[in-house]
Amino acid sequence: MDCPRWLPLESNPEVMTKFVSSLGMKSTWQFGDVYGLDPELLSMVPRPVCAVLLLFPVTEKYEAFKLEEEEKLKDQRQQVSPDVYFIKQTIGNACGTIGLIHAVANNEAQLDFEPDSPLKKFIEQTTKMTPEERAAFLEKDESIRVTHETSAQEGQTEAPSLDEKVNLHFIAFVKVGEQLYELDGRKPFPIVHGKTSKETFLEDAVEVCKIFMARDPQEVRFTIIALSKDSY
So which residues are the catalytic ones?
95, 169
* Cα separation values, 205 from 99, 137, 152, 175, Å: 14, 29, 26, 9
Classified as helix, coil or strand, 72 is helix
The C-alpha atoms of residue 102 and residue 118 are separated, in whole angstroms, by: 15
Strands 191-195 and 179-183 turn out to be antiparallel
Classified as helix, coil or strand, 199 is coil
Helix (H) or strand (E) holding 65: helix 60-75
Classified as helix, coil or strand, 169 is strand
Residues listed for the chain = 232
Q: Measuring CA to CA, which residue among 105, 120, 147, 143 is closest to residue 7? A: 147
